[in-house]
Amino acid sequence: MPMISFPESFPTEAAGELIELFRSGSKPTKATALAAWNVVGFALDQIPDAESPDNVVGDCDCDCSDCETDEDCKCAVLDILEEAQFLNGKPDDVVGARKIPWARLIALLLRLLPLLI
């Protein structure tokens, strides 16, 4: 079976699933784990050169050292996903210099993934 490609456009439904999960505090399901993988896959594809942290879109403290607890990580993911949903589909000239920290989002979601299974 061939590998599945990363999502080609921002996974709005997957982001919404994660936002709802983190806001409600409900129990994770297979769907939330799949949502996290979809968002991580899309985010990976947004990084121009995955081997060079200097080329990451947006600023990133990819070790998530500022997130002392899982709740801190969830709040950080919420902030990023809500901003990404707001910017989704807007022309680049409207967005201006605002950028989504995709690498940080990846690091946060991978840290939280065991809680989503």
Summarize pLDDT for 59-113 with one digit per residue, the tens: 444 556 677 888 888 999 999 998 888 877 666 554 433 578 888 899 999 989 8
What is the value of pTM for the model shown? 0.78
Q: Where are the domains of the chain?
A: 12-48+58-116
| pLDDT, mean over the chain | 80
| Cβ(19)–Cβ(78) below 8 Å | yes
φ, ψ dihedrals at 34, nearest 5°? -65, -40
| Cβ(112)–Cβ(73) below 8 Å | yes
